[in-house]
Structure 1
Amino acid sequence: MNRYLTPCLFLLSVTAALAQLRFTPDRPKIDGVVSFTYTPTGPLIGETDIQAVFLRYGSPAQMRLSQSETAPAVPTGSAFVGTIKIPFKEVAGLLVAFQSRNNPALIDHNNAHFYPILLHSKTGAVLPHAVGGQASVLMRTSFPYLLKVKPDWAWAVGQYEQEIARHPTTRPLYWADLVRAKLREGQQGQTRPDYRQTCLADIDAYLTSETANLTPADLRAAAELYTQLNEPQLAQKARDRISSVDHSSDAAQKARVAQIAAEPDLGKKRANFNDFVATLPRSPYRGVAVSAVAEAYFKADKLRELVEFMGAEADPETDPVLLLSFAHQLAKEGRGMPQADWLANRAIWAFGKRPVPPTNKQLAMERAGQIRAAQAVSAHALYEQNRYLPALNRYREIWTSTPPRQTDPTTNERIWLCAQKTSRADSVLPFMLTVVRANRTTASLRSSLRDWQTARLGGTRELATYQHNLALIEAADRRAVVMDKFTDEPAPPFTLMALNGRRVSLASLRGKVVVLDFWATWCEPCRASLPPKLQVRNSFRNVPSVQFLFVNTHETAAKAAVRAVAAKQIGASPVLLDPDRKMADAYGVKLLPSTILIDAQGRIRYRSAGYSDNAQATTDELQQAIEALNDGYR
């Protein structure tokens, strides 16, 4: 392939992928949420139950466990919609495929290239590793094999070359993988027969150009590549050069750790680790090496060896976040519960050993959340082993430090079962009532509580009175939860033309509660969110002090198309036109759909952005917020 064509082909492939997958925002950033709309193609045409299967990726050193995740996709017309949370750091993009839940063998992987979602910086530039990291998914993870995808090494070569061209400083991270990709490309017969000479020339070019900065990892990688190319003499020369590199330098230590991480053979990896800690026992990178070996044990499902290995390491070399991720994965998959409990407890211990500055409230909150997460995994592991009393005690540690509305309904169900199994239901009942008021229960939990209360109170009449009083408390508490989210900021004035030709201004609505819903015809999540919002609107149809306005913004379609969609889905409510986005920008709308409530005094009191597939929760929260404002909340 002509490498000069690669950027053009990349743009074409992304454009083709976007025909099936659209997402907002169009330039997503870290620590955000991506709302996607997927139109089924190929094997998924006609499927009614589809999920997104995705992998977050970054630099080669950050690929770590590289576990795939799933996100629900809700059918909306001929498409499916959903959301994916982007973590705060160590990620440059997402690769997404779509899979039938009814027939998992049916997968749309975009012709083996997956659907890319590239992350951007604050300035809107594509992040480093967003392109090269896609090839690393093929080279360094099991994601393609999980989805039965045969890697396209010619495509991977193009991705690596683009990354290095865009960000030359990443060349040391990618050069060896680029050569490996070219080698595999040649072995698959995807390129000219002289691929060996090309690979040899690339290795020599890198070693020559980076003579002053070579690391042991570079030379080990070169030796490995020479061996694969059947050049034993060149491989030995590369190994001989390793002794000339300063092993105690920061770069050399990093390189040795990278070599440990990259070694595919677990026995060799452990031997390399033992050699590393023997020669550099106080290396600041020992913890990274520990994590690399631990991950290898975990991936190989050698859980007892993992526990033995981690138990021998001192606290400074223990990464509690990694331990927690291991424990969480085991609990999620329902295997290795004794090891999951040990790992979770080890994580709790390690978190506790790491001091938090008294002035850093954000870190303190994050640490407390991490400890609660580890406690939850430990409790779940104990629960799955039928160790109900230790599980209940661990659960008690969680609920005493967690607001009821932040608890997990499934966890609350397990707590109640543990309480019943250990004859401690009376002592747990007060907590159960708080989670009932917070609407954090499952159907099974509510049924069990009703049965238990019926027997306890003496009959169904007493239970009915109890439930009526409890319902009043629940309604008040739900409104309080919504009111906690209220803001208080001036609403920018506006005057917009409506589809019916009339002008509508905020000033003309003074004294009313105004509900603004920002939407666009191309936005599938907007249209999917309309039914619950219209249900709320209809409940206020005869309330003159509440006015719904549907603001069409960020629009690409003609006015006639907007009119058709509005007539079919929105009906009689005013539809305002914001073609230049001035109103959306003035109100700080960053994501569609967005709902904003303005009180009778002309102040913004409530905001909601994005789409939730929990229609009932959307309806309840919006209803409560409007009722609170209409009742005169200040």
Structure 2
Amino acid sequence: MNRLLTLAFFLLTTPLLAQFRYLPEKPLPGDVVSFTYTPRNTPLASETAISGIWVRYAAPSQMVASLPTTATAVQEGNAFVGEMKLPKPPLSGLLFTFQSKTNSALIDANNGHFYPLLVYTDGGKPQPHATGGQASVLVRTAYAAKLKVKSDWAWAVQQYERELAQNPQLRPQYWSDLIATQLRLQKPGAKATALNQIPAYLDSHTPTPDELTTAANLYDQLAEPARATAARERIRTVDPTGDAAQKARAEVVRKEADLAKKLSGFASFTQAFPASTYRGMLVSSVAEAYFKPGQFRDLVSFLAQQPLPATDPMLLHSFAGQMTDEGRGIPQAEWLAQRALTVLQQRPLPKKASPEQTAQRTSDIQNFRATLAYAFDQQDRFGAALATYKQAVAEPDASDPRTSERLWLCALRANRADSVLPYIEKVVRVGRLTPRLRSALRAYQAKKLGSEAKGETYVRDLLAPYRAERQAELAESFVNQPAPGFTLSTLSGNTVSLASLRGKVVMLDFWATWCGPCVASFPAVQQAAAYFKNDPNVVFLFVNTREGGPLSRVQSFMARQTSTFTVPLDRDQRVADSYGVLGIPTKVIIDPKGRVRYRSLGFSGNTDATAEELTLVIEALKNLQ
């Protein structure tokens, strides 16, 4: 730490000219640098533990590898000092930000300009990009965003202009970033200025394909499609067979809305560039153009002519999944699912695949097989369907409930239920089942055992360990608060009061017709209510609150429901306020003793999981009588 002591002595005997200083004053790449930061008059002035966070910068094309790194700083009097070894080239400088170790919200980023540490050449001059690279940190990295520092685009423009004044030969590396950053300022006339600057730069020399591609992208940003197309077309004259030309032509085909023209463009492109890396993108684009209007036969015919490596298995699987779910084009869905599975299985994993990557590949293959099995199933090809379902199912505790449901229903239709029953029972024991699977299994056992009651007992016995475990987990989150009393008129003209329901479990669902999540969660609550429909000790109240509109709207909504529900009207929101309802939907469950034991806000989007949770909570609270 001799360098730190020397630096500290230097600071004590020399007036501070800046809050951030470093030695040597003209460091070279690879040098060991000592730095000091003085937090006086900054948000960190009273902090005793500070870190320096820095990011390296160089030429714009090298910024992609710039990641924030932490430098340790030790308090020495009123300053913080540290020491670090500069990275090797390419390196033009570092930008520092200082942050409190105890409160990450406290940051000093020098008013959004950060603290630069410039790196020099052997001749004692700043490295090229020492100034412009600071702007590139804002434009080409997420450094400012990660630190929640507001970007100063006017400053970035100034840094670019200073760099080009010092090193005009670097304009090819900065011209487009400078124009794009000027546009971020949103000053009057910025678009007109940019539309002059772009052709002025391109006409100053023979542009490269990359420059023309960049110009086309700028024109796209400026909403000038004709100029963007002209720039891409110009690439053909500069480098008619290169990557940039291929990309430009592929982009034109991808954006073509007319299917006939898209097919013509695709044929022309593949003839000119049969081995292009952009072929896969275009195959997907044409495939989507066939899929959207439902031209499934033509879609299959087209894909059958394409090489497997140019096929996106995820896209084909998504097509097959939508088609089987909707019952459309099932023979073609089978072909797509089989094709997707073949491509995926032939696509190699990285040589050093992580456990997560390997697990994801296994999961994808199982999902693809499940879709293929469902396509077989819908064509009454039960043998192929059951064999493929069995390949698709995972361990019971990681199984997909929908696939398990389809497996069981397929086995029932094929009169082979006993062959999959052991697996289905394991699925039920770990709670991985849907309401339809539960109902179908109950009906199967009712017929086998002689009564619906025995069928229900069979399913409940299977579920008992899982439900007990889940109830224990939910009980840990139970609250225990007195439930405010209320008396409300209902939509049907009756009166309901909490006092009259003492001794019962009461579920309050606070909702309104205009509330999307409320309406979306209705099926889950209805499902739970149906479960307890024969239990007089469980009451569901759909408390309409915060409606803000005519009563007829509520009446119309409830008239469209398939079941009858008690709908208390909390027109003045007094009940909702007394229960601390911060937003809707809010669900509150009251135990038989009149205590609030459970509340939830919002809706997860999972109907079955929500219904199951409400059911488990209510059953647990019934036992508290």
TM-score of the superposition, structure 1-length normalised?
0.45
Q: More relative contact order in 1 or in 2 (CA 8 Å, sep 6+)?
A: 1
TM-score of the superposition, structure 2-length normalised?
0.45
